[in-house]
Structure 1
Amino acid sequence: MNLSFRLFAWFALSLAAMAASAASDAERGKYLATLGDCAACHTSRNGAPFSGGRVVPTPFGAIPAPNLTPDRETGLGSWTADDFYRAMHSGIGHDGKSLYPAFPFTSYAKTTRADTDAIFAYLRSLPAVKRADTPNTLRWPYRMRSLMGAWRALYFDEGEYVQRERHGKAWNRGAYLVEGLGHCNECHARRNSFGAMVQEPFLAGGIVPVQNWYAPDLSMGANGGLAGWSEADVVALLKTGRSHKGTALGPMAEVVMRSTQHLDDVDLAAMATYLKSLPDRDPPRQRESAVNARELALKGEKIYAQQCAGCHAADGRGKGDAYPPLDGNGSVTDPTGINTIRIVLSGGFAPVTKDNPRPYSMPPFTQKLNDEDAAAVVTYIRQAWSNKAASVSPADVRAYRSTPGS
């Protein structure tokens, strides 16, 4: 075998190894992009994957999600891996300008360089699609990017996830996923008037901006939104959209459908391990919304017997895997009552998943129940059995009967 042939063989093997490594990175990046639910914002209805076009509503105006395909003019084609890492880690775009925090760089900053490189490799492997961004419609002064410097100084801590040595491998993996790419706090936290997340207590629940659903407290301890749940219950919900304790509805149904059902069992278990460690909460403050709460609940009991008990049972414990329990259900007893009102009015639609391809759904009752009737049955459900949540009023129902974000 002559020298030139050996050099050619070495070169060919090197190229094959590089191609295999790139393919492996892209495949891992696909998994990580799914974990981060990137397609939820960066893919429009009937649009090419990750080609942008979807407008993300915020309380300050709408922001179009950009094209992430490798088109050189309108996408990431002229970006480098360093550019992408800076966007994910620092919230700075290819042009050097600050990105708006509708892009959750405040969470993605915790992602390691190896993982951001893998996601970038996956995005670079996609077909290039030419699709220019549309201008944002942010109101003044929120559209002024120069103000982002002050916002970042007040509310953004840059830095990758740091392993907590006092915890084990599974806990740290779960913390990395929940706090970072999973960006759970972006929904499950209150926000201040400047749109920044209130970090303490962590994952303590909050109203999802514009969509107007309540993302519950994720503590599994006393008074938490997942009190009484086991780690297996959490894994089941994230994997199938349902568990013995409840069903994913509203925005969480889309998260399960697009993202968490595709995660491997080890990562799902790690996330549950981390959530299990969240501290107990103080008892929630209860504020009665209805003056005639007792009379409403009595009326609601009759409506429940007629309209709801056939599926959810007279004792509120539900029926098997088909109809979730209402007794002890954190989505029923959340501090606001928003979710229960909206589900009674608009129905409840669980996600279609590979392990639950034909989920049961709840029909809407907006045509059957007026505001007082809906308030009555919601008040009853929130105060029956072991539930001890505040009442809701007909005015509360009226506010969400035609609310945006349905």
Structure 2
Amino acid sequence: MGNVRKNIKMGRKVSMRKQLISALVLAVALTTSITPTFAAEKVEVKENRGNVFSAKDIVLYKTISDDSKQEKEKAMVEHKDAIKIIKTYIKTNELPIVSDVNDPTYQQFVLSLGGSFDEFSEEEMGKIVSFVKFIDLYENHEKNDKLKQYKNKLTNNTILSEEENAELNSLLPVSSNAESTAENAVSTNDEVSGSSMSPMTVYSNGYDNIKARDYAYKWWDGRNPAYDYYAYKEGCSVYDTNCWKKWNDCTNFVSQAIYTGGMKLRYGSHYTSSSSWSYGVVPSYSWGGAHNFYLHWKSRAGIASSVSALQTGDVVNADFGGDGQIDHTAIITKNTGSYSSNKYLTQHTSDKKETTTLANWYNSGYKVYGYEMDKASN
């Protein structure tokens, strides 16, 4: 019995020793596997501590003058017809918008009308487009104030946070020398009308342009409740159509369409980073902001050199005033030829299905940036 107890004790000691050795081996293994990841994170944080920009990189937006007050007074006279048309439109549609040039909500609403060519007569739209371009430049005073604040920080060698670097990146205007998508010279003899000319295919990068198109068809005049962040942010229900008027949804809508078409989400160092394109608890800036969308996709897909290269399922951005701030996003859902008048657009804010073509944009003097989604990295 004593030997049995002794053997039991010895067995326990051996067992405990084995457990200790196993625990030690496991600890070493865990340390070995965790260390590279931890080291990589440290390197990433170390890299992000530096400033991405210097004071000399700060470029201000174009404005009409240095006196915003004088600009407003002049606009009330020069654009009085457009202001009256828009005021009537707001009243008729019972929109919760105050007609005040200094109100950011009003400014965003006016800009959203830059793609509403079927809502007004040609004469009215001409006046509205002119006012849209004024607003596009007028709102730059506020952007320039922010840029000047960043310039002062950088001049004083202040280290910007990761969020500040990302915000500054999204604030800076697109260079006037940046590549944009040129319009083909229109020749009515060569235009093709009727069915789509775009291939119905899944491209080698996995993008299905028809799935993207069909999603746009399904939701062009609605809001998918699976993407309710912006409604939640505004404190209203995505099921309430009055709620939809509280934010510009053009880029959020297009992001949903191309994601459905197979474009994969990207997770950068932060949701504010232009390398991110994702939807989650908080969507990336590039998911729902037109300018941020441009910053992401110009790198990921490149800019189409000519409108003839754009097909069904491809995406376009517009800069209304040519000031370097991207104002609008739409998706091409029908393509009947090589010219801008053959590229039919579907969009949100305002919600349209193929009532507008790229010709409307070019004829209005908008700067266009197109993305061939089959060439995007995925």
TM more than 0.5: no
Please identify the structure whose Cα radius of gyration is greater: 2
More helix by percentage: 2
> TM tier, shorter chain?
under 0.3
Structure with bigger RCO (C-alpha 8 Å, 6+ apart): 2
TM-score by length of 1: 0.21
